[in-house]
A and B are shown apart, each in its own frame.
Chain A
Amino acid sequence: MHLKKLQLYNFKNFGEINLELHPKINFFVGNNGVGKTNLMDAIYYLSFCKSFHNSFENNNIKHNEDFFAIHGTYDDINSQDNVLISCSLRSGSRKIFKFNKKEYQRLADHIGLIPLVIISPYDADLINLGSEFRRRYFDSVISQFDKLYLDDLVNYNRVLQQRNVLLKTMFEQHRFDGESLKIWDFQMSELGQRINQRRIKFLGNLKPIFQEYYNFLTNGKEKVEIEYESQANDKNYFEELIRNHEKDKFAQYSTFGVHKDDYIFKMNDFPIKRYGSQGQQKSFLIALKLAQFSHTQNISKTKPLLLLDDIFDKLDENRVLQIIALAGDGKLGQVFISDTHLDRIESLFAKLELSYSCFDIKNGNIIQLV
């Protein structure tokens, strides 16, 4: 599967753009602030029906314009060619998403059709920020192809919200009633246990692939590990909830459960956040994303699009070379790479005998160089 043609109208800093893309490797070159990331975001948008980092939709419309539209033409989506995916948004109205000119009833029906993995400087948040970012990342990867898991998550959060309100109310009214709390514990333990099991299973599948990619990127210098940390591991969930009533009573919120889970990123048995160098952290994250790539490929039976945003910011030339070599070996599908320096890319490709396309981005205009 690959993106053959991309058309943009008033998306972020672009006016009207028409691109014919290479089925394997595409480079976007330009100085900082010219819109390389925005171009990546447009491709991301067509897969996930939303921007990678801008959740306020109207901000995606170019200044002083009242709508934006993105059209992508794909080949080989479930062995169908020339599939047109369109998204448009008029300021103040709802987003319209179409498959071959027919509007989707639910956006959820589209997600998963065009699998995509993005590697970007924002990935560092996964190491640097709190546990909720890691939970959200892993949850989004699992739930993309497991709607029952997504339903469990939504229901779990609803129970959690109800239970927390109940704890707060009981505290304010100075009467603690364990029996009232217990009726929520039943559902919380059912859902929590399923979520716990699913997370264990997912990480179990992902970890060996992740470790293999890390070794590939670094020639096996360090031992890396992702640990799933959950209060629920190997515990009787329901009994633990009951046991924590006293603690919950004073905290006024639910202190036990999978909403407290974390994923610990480790290198040589120490947390990479404190003990890993910048370069090691970057390799760690890229290995994680490439493992996500393999996982997505296994489930969707197609090679996801891969977006490498500002890749040289993260890796030295040799490692980038290794990744692009993967594309040459047919291990990757269509790849999009952005960088600030044209010469860096040209010297890179002088070493590899691969065909590619290169686009120069300047002031909201795009010119195809190769």
Chain B
Amino acid sequence: MDNLSSKLLENAVMEFNRLQGVGKRSALRMVLNILNFSESEKESFIEAFRALKDDIHYCKICNNISDNEICPICANPKRNHAIICVVQDIRDIIAIENTRQFNGIYHVLGGIISPIDGIGPDDLNMYSLFEKAKAGVLEEIILALPTTIEGDTTNYFIYKNIEDCDLKITTIARGISIGDELEYADEVTLGRSLKDRIDFEQITVRS
């Protein structure tokens, strides 16, 4: 791979190689692929990345990736701005939006607390969330972070900082997945689901 005939080719390959999950061989294949594009295809390819660099915004309210200063979700007056769902990154928003069950707005942390990965509260979009909570207009904050040790720790950190605010703090339910047979559930999930069992009335009323 070190003896490419062109320095320009090599540079482009190296750039693709920087991407996660792309090895040198795949990078070379991609670059050769692009080289075979028509002139106008190449232009639009490059333009997409230039625009990504120059024009992308992070929503001033929720920190989601957006074309404008305020993302479409936060700019939508029909959504309930008194309920905020806290997530790790944009992929979680896409997943929750696909459920069509949530009409509030989001707050994107950009990660979770993990000293092993060198991420502390200061590295995350944490403090603007606390300000929102303290402003006194929110009804509820829903914590929708991974159900891992690090996710729980981040939940706890947020909780500790806003527990005095006059609002409801909830977290997404954890337990047996919908449609699961109990005999196939792993013991830990089943055990915790039993421990955190819920009032049947709650379910019947909801559905």
Contacts and interface: CB of A to CB of B under 8 A. Distances in A.
Given A155-B149, A183-B160, A184-B153, A162 B116 contact: yes
Interface string A146-182: 0110010001001101110110010000000000100
B156 A183 contact: yes
Contacts of B191: 147-148
B149 A158 contact: yes
B149 A162 contact: yes
B150 A169 contact: no
A163 B149 CA distance: 11
A184 B113 CA distance: 10
A186 interface: yes
Contacts of A163: 115
Interface in B103-148: 113-116, 118, 120-121
B199 interface: no
Contacts of A166: 115, 120
Tell me what chain A mostly uses at the interface: helix, strand, loop, or mixed. Answer: helix
B188 interface: yes
Contacts of A186: 153, 156
A184 B118 CA distance: 15
Given A162-B149, A162-B150, A183 B157 contact: yes
B121 A180 contact: yes
Contacts, number: 41
A169 B188 contact: no
Contacts of A165: 115-116
A187 B115 contact: no
Given A148-B191, A151-B188, A183 B153 contact: yes
Interface in A252-302: none
Chain B interface residue number, banded: 10 to 19
Q: How large is the interface on A (under 10, 10 to 19, 20 to 34, 35 or more residues)?
A: 10 to 19
B188 A147 contact: yes
Nearest to A159: B149
A9 B125 CA distance: 59
B69 interface: no
Contacts of B120: 166, 180
A180 B187 CA distance: 32
A148 B115 contact: no
Interface of B: 113-116, 118, 120-121, 149-150, 152-153, 156-157, 160, 186-188, 191-192
Interface of A: 147-148, 151, 155, 158-159, 161-163, 165-166, 169, 180, 183-184, 186-187
25 contacts: A147-B187, A147-B188, A148-B187, A148-B188, A151-B188, A155-B149, A158-B149, A159-B149, A159-B153, A161-B116, A162-B115, A162-B116, A163-B115, A165-B116, A166-B115, A166-B120, A169-B118, A180-B120, A180-B121, A183-B157, A184-B153, A186-B156, A187-B149, A187-B153, A187-B156
Given A148-B187, A148-B192, A183-B113, 18 more contacts: A147-B186, A148-B191, A151-B188, A155-B149, A158-B149, A159-B149, A159-B153, A162-B115, A162-B116, A162-B150, A163-B115, A165-B115, A166-B115, A169-B118, A183-B153, A183-B157, A187-B149, A187-B153
